Chain A
């Protein structure tokens, strides 16, 4: 039964990683626009190589 000393912490840590990832996705607003995110992958990037969403960064 000594294996439990390793297995229980391992299972707890794996679960905790999943939980923290979920909390992170909620906090960063990744569920605010689910439909939009699905469509955005289809947007072609500009020739300059900046996506429309972040084009403000390259704006003079």
Chain B
């Protein structure tokens, strides 16, 4: 798992960097978040084609991305060219975009079309037979039906055959086993009937079964694929590179090509790409993504820095110390893998239904065959009745029961800004009874809030000038808060490691930094101009928008809420007080968070974990269900079931209620399907079922289930 996240936002010292060349004739992908019309398409393609060495540029508006085929040109040139004409472009890591073309969806849609074509034609011929065609006409129609149905069924139903075979080989049974058996037996026994001049054939039933079930499968696939490709886009946006120093030159290389003892330069504001020891000067490091601690720490030469941490002080160099197995990232990802394996033991609703249903159907059909054989002594009649039982009970509606509901629910959640990775996640989410929140970056925003009300106008403009000279989170927050102020002109701007920023303003020294350094009577953040008394700038954490209604909403729906934070207890408690959360666990690292989650589940809690940091990743994977914000690292997003694309968390309680009603509707669908069977099965057992009846029951039950699933739309 690639977790080395390199922030591409900084263009510092670009001229020193040997730009990465694109191998000849290779395809490059750029994300274009801003494009929305024909004019943009034309502009992007024209601009890119104007560059020497570009063979082809093709914009995909649906995916907001452009595919460029070119000889070796630096990717930065393409981005700069577009930026020049006012189009924002971001490099995408092509290796992360695993399915550039969704071939599986294409194959499924072709199978669906073949099944649909065959079903309609065979149905036309069957209608003629049901309305009384007899003799040679009927036999001819049966033959034509067979010629259409057999190849079509064998081709279209392959996904079911494959899944059923895979399940049988593992000595287990899933929904695909009765489906495959019904399609297979119905087709071949109808062929036998046709050749022997029989009256009733089930070609149309076999085909409509295939068609309806493929439809469910296709819908399921498309929703999951669109969620997955959105998640992939987020990951691919983080290109994993490092600035390697060799012979005094700086070269931007892929993180995977680094070796032990390589020297890597970490520019200000950049994320550390690999574990290493600090070389020369001390460095200010923000560890919040690793341990949730909000205050940056000062580390001196020789000490360890870990991948994922952010350099918020001056530029520094590290020598690579660990790669592969022993690295922090690798240890974390092993923890995640083991946690994920535990969760994969969850059996989804459809499979649980199949475990009861499939044996019941098979036993019923076998009993029908045996008893009719005993009564009439005619094996052909007995087997025909057994097939009628199989087809009538066959889970057309059962196969649609879950996918139609998840498609509708996932689609609804997507419009609310929640990306659900698969239907099983919804089922697990519906069962949670305890919510555990990470603090930094989840309940609070990553950027703290500074109070600037007590500063004068001159002080504000000096503070802004100083703040702009540093990447420290507090300086960044201050610069954001002062965005309407014009910065003062300052000289000799300098960052003092572990203390703050200082500069000369009209022959006075202006300092922005911690209280001890300013020799003030407070120890927090402050500003000092010349010999005047230092002014304190109060700092508080900003709550993420919508967090308060979210917590009260969760409590209202009967869920307990906990905070699990890596930050100091005082900080966690302050947030807990504001939100009315009393159970708080603080100062825990990634392994401890994972252990706490495992313990909670052994006590019997079904935990929903919400978190964003690298220290939450293992906990996210270990939780019964998990949610991560889009701002989280890709490791956390991968581990989570649901990614929140919006900044606002206010809709979270409604996600849980939608998940709950989705499960309720799925169960209703099973009940509806069972009701149809309750009427039709006795008739089939008595030998009164006709192919017409099977066709009507099948379409009617599928339609009812489909309409019931659409009721998810009305859940709030």
Contacts and interface: CB of A to CB of B under 8 A. Distances in A.
B104 to A, nearest CB: 12
Contact of B106 (A26, A36, A39): A26
B158 interface: no
Interface string A31-60: 011111001111110000000110110010
A18 B637 CA distance: 43
Contact of B55 (A27, A33, A56): A56
Interface in B178-237: none
A53 B58 CA distance: 7
Contacts of A16: 117
Interface string B35-61: 001100110011001000001101111
A27 B110 CA distance: 9
Give the top 3 A-B pairs by smallest Cβ distance, nearest first.
A36-B61, A42-B38, A39-B38
Given A22-B113, A33-B63, A36-B62, A15 B49 contact: no
B109 interface: yes
B106 A40 contact: no
Given A15-B117, A52-B46, 20 more contacts: A1-B137, A11-B124, A18-B117, A23-B110, A26-B109, A26-B113, A27-B106, A29-B101, A32-B60, A32-B62, A33-B62, A35-B62, A36-B62, A42-B38, A43-B38, A43-B41, A52-B41, A52-B45, A55-B49, A56-B55
A53 B137 CA distance: 55
Interface of A: 1, 4, 8, 11-12, 15-16, 18-19, 22-23, 26-27, 29, 32-36, 39-44, 52-53, 55-56, 59
A39 B120 contact: no
Contact of A15 (B38, B45, B60, B120): B120
Given A34-B62, A39-B37, A19 B114 contact: yes
Given A12-B121, A15-B121, A26-B106, A33 B61 contact: yes
6 contacts: A18-B117, A32-B62, A32-B101, A43-B41, A44-B42, A56-B56
B600 interface: no
B144 interface: yes
A26 B61 contact: no
B101 A36 contact: no
Nearest to A12: B121
B62 A43 contact: no
A8 B49 contact: no
A8 B60 contact: no
The dominant DSSP class at the A interface is: helix
Contacts of B106: 26-27
Interface in B82-117: 101, 106, 109-110, 113-114, 117
Contacts of A12: 121, 148
Contact of A40 (B38, B62, B63, B113): B38
Contacts of B42: 43-44, 52
Contacts of B61: 33, 35-36, 39
Contact of B41 (A26, A34, A36): A36
A29 B148 CA distance: 27
A33 B101 CA distance: 11
A8 B121 CA distance: 9
Given A12-B121, A23-B110, A40 B41 contact: yes
A53 B37 contact: no
Interface string B480-494: 000000000000000
A20 B62 CA distance: 26
A56 B556 CA distance: 61
Given A1-B137, A34-B62, A40-B41, A19 B49 contact: no
Nearest to A8: B144
A33 B64 CA distance: 10
Contacts of A40: 38, 41
Contacts of A52: 41-42, 45-46, 49
Contacts of A8: 144
B113 A23 contact: yes
Contacts of B109: 26
B61 to A, nearest CB: 3
Nearest to B116: A19
Contacts of A42: 37-38
A8 B106 CA distance: 30
Which residue among A29, A36, A40, A59 has the maximum number of chain B CB atoms within 10 Å of its CB? Answer: A36
A35 to B, nearest CB: 5
A21 to B, nearest CB: 10
A50 B148 CA distance: 45
A40 to B, nearest CB: 6
Contact of A56 (B49, B121, B124, B148): B49
A52 to B, nearest CB: 5
Contacts of A32: 60, 62, 101
Nearest to B43: A52
A39 B114 CA distance: 30
A6 to B, nearest CB: 14
A43 B38 CA distance: 6
Interface in B420-478: none
B25 to A, nearest CB: 13
Contacts of B124: 11
A26 B110 contact: yes
Contacts of B63: 33
B117 A33 contact: no
A9 B233 CA distance: 48
B73 to A, nearest CB: 15
Interface in B115-154: 117, 120-121, 124, 137, 144, 148
A19 B117 contact: yes
A11 B41 CA distance: 42
A11 B55 contact: no
A33 B41 CA distance: 12
Contacts of B49: 52, 55-56, 59
B60 A36 contact: yes
